[in-house]
């Protein structure tokens, strides 16, 4: 009776498995410990190095890559070759992109009229509607009961607001101030602006949030004036950010003859009417840079990396004459378009040359 040769799957020794498991726990503890220490750009470097080491241990031992045949190891290594190809192809667009000019005006100022009578006055219907919006927009961070314990809360610093607490509200607990917070957000925290929601929806959300605690503060005439509302009127007309209609957007995308040029219109700044004006630099700074670099580009603001636990912080650099990126217009353009790897500075490759020039001139004037 002939014998057959079979290849058996390698069984990892218990001692080795326990050793690697303990090492992974130690590396996880190091990640948590380092994340609470502000090391500037080295936070990212160390976190990446530790994550790479942990992934390598898992692949080598728990996925048995160390004990696999040469063919399987070659297949694994080849996957990195394909990754490199993808990176190179992307880099050719990033580093060799031609100038994209934006012309014409597709943007128009808009305004929305409230459909409700005095939406700043709480009603059971508004509270019920606000609860529906809350379930869609807010539960992830603030939790089902508004206690600030949602699934995403662990990755946020500062932690989301506990709506059942009376103290600590940055803008106060009055309805107008909560409405103001929903419209403008609370930079540089993770509380984003919800200005894209209709005003009536924001008022409904305001009333629901305040209903989570029995103590409700009353607005004064000065509070209404601060948010531009006349409480004696039946409704309010709110000015909206300039935007394009869906119909216009779709028509531009469907335009076959000049699709690339039309796409550039949609991809770039929404405020086309100020692109050639004296305020373009200031406007772009307030839109893209203010949240991280602060007033007048002074920097020093801690930026949190969201979506990772625990949160690591990196302080932004001042955009003054000593900043390397402010040495010249060309150096500034490269820093803005490509970003600064390892410093959490994203790239803004959608800005045109005139926008970059305006932004650079604004920062130079602010720091002279």
* pLDDT (0 to 100) of residue 255: 58
- Residue 121: give the domain boundaries: 109-243
* pLDDT (0 to 100) of residue 6: 53
51-60, 259-268, 327-336: the lowest-pLDDT one: 259-268
More confident residue, 76 or 48: 48
Query: Which of 243, 276, 308 corresponds to the end of one domain?
Result: 243
Evaluate the omega torsion of the peptide bond into residue 238 and state whether it is cis, within 30 degrees of 0: no
Task: Give the model confidence (pLDDT) of 335-354 as tens digits.
Answer: 888 777 656 677 777 778 88
Task: Give the model confidence (pLDDT) of 138-147 as tens digits.
Answer: 888 898 888 8
The answer to the question of residue 114 being in a domain is: yes
Query: Which of 32, 60, 95 corresponds to the end of one domain?
Result: 95
Task: Give the model confidence (pLDDT) of 154-164 as tens digits.
Answer: 888 888 888 88
Tokens 């050639």, located at residue: 276
What's the burial of 55, exposed, middle or buried (CB within 10 Å: 0-12/13-18/19+)? Answer: exposed
Q: Answer yes or no: do 236 and 317 share one domain.
A: no
In the chain the beta strands, taken as DSSP E runs, fall at: 108-113, 237-243, 302-304, 313-315
CATH code, domain with 309: 1.10.760.10
**pLDDT confidence bin for 19, thresholds 50/70/90:** very high
Q: How far is CA 294 from CA 99, 299, 300, 302, in A?
A: 29, 6, 8, 10
**What is the C-alpha separation between 197 and 311, in angstroms, rounded?**
29
The answer to the question of residue 260 being in a domain is: no
81-90, 184-193, 283-292, 301-310: the lowest-pLDDT one: 301-310
**Backbone φ and ψ of 348, nearest 5°:** -125, 70
Q: Answer yes or no: do 56 and 182 share one domain.
A: no
* pLDDT (0 to 100) of residue 99: 57
**Backbone φ and ψ of 349, nearest 5°:** -70, -5
**What is the C-alpha separation between 210 and 217, in angstroms, rounded?**
9
Q: Answer yes or no: do 116 and 237 share one domain.
A: yes
Structure tokens at 336: 């803005």
Contact 162, 150 (CB under 8 A): no
Most confident of 15-24, 35-44, 103-112: 15-24
The answer to the question of residue 136 being in a domain is: yes
**pLDDT confidence bin for 54, thresholds 50/70/90:** very high
Please count the structural domains in the chain: 3
Instruction: Read off the pTM.
Output: 0.40
Q: Answer yes or no: do 293 and 336 share one domain.
A: yes
Is the per-residue pLDDT at 262 higher than 70? no
């Amino acid at each position: 009776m002939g014998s057959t040769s079979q290849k058996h799957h390698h069984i990892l020794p218990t001692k080795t498995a326990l050793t690697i498991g303990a090492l992974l726990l130690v590396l996880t503890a190091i990640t948590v410990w380092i994340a609470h220490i502000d090391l500037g750009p080295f936070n990212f470097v160390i976190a990446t190095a530790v994550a790479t080491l942990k992934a390598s241990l898992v692949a080598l031992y728990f996925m048995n890559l160390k004990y696999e045949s040469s063919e399987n190891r070659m297949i694994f290594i080849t996957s990195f070759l394909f990754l490199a190809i993808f990176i190179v192809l992307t880099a050719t667009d990033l580093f060799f992109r031609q100038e994209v000019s934006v012309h014409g005006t597709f943007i128009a100022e808009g305004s929305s009229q409230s459909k409700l009578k005095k939406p700043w006055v709480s009603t059971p219907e508004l509270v019920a509607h606000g609860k529906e919006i809350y379930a869609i927009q807010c539960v992830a961070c603030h939790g089902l009961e508004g206690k600030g314990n949602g699934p995403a809360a662990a990755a946020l610093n500062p932690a989301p607001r506990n709506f059942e607490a009376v103290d600590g509200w940055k803008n106060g607990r009055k309805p107008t101030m909560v409405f103001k917070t929903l419209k403008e957000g609370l930079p540089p925290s993770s509380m984003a602006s919800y200005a894209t929601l209709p005003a009536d929806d924001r008022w409904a959300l305001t009333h629901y949030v305040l209903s989570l605690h029995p103590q409700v503060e009353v607005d004064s005439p000065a509070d209404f004036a601060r948010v531009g509302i006349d409480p004696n009127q039946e409704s309010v007309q709110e000015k909206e950010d300039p935007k394009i209609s869906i119909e216009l957007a779709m028509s531009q995308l469907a335009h076959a003859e000049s699709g690339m040029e039309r796409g550039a219109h949609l991809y770039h700044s929404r405020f086309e009417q100020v692109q050639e004006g004296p305020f373009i630099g200031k406007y772009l700074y307030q839109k893209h840079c203010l949240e991280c670099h602060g007033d007048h580009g002074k920097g020093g603001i801690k930026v949190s990396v969201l979506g990772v636990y625990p949160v690591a912080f990196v302080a932004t650099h001042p955009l003054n004459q000593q900043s390397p990126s402010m040495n010249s217009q060309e150096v500034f353009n490269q820093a803005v378009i490509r970003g600064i790897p390892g410093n959490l500075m994203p790239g803004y490759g959608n800005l045109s040359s005139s926008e970059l020039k305006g932004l650079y001139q604004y920062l130079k004037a602010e720091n002279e």
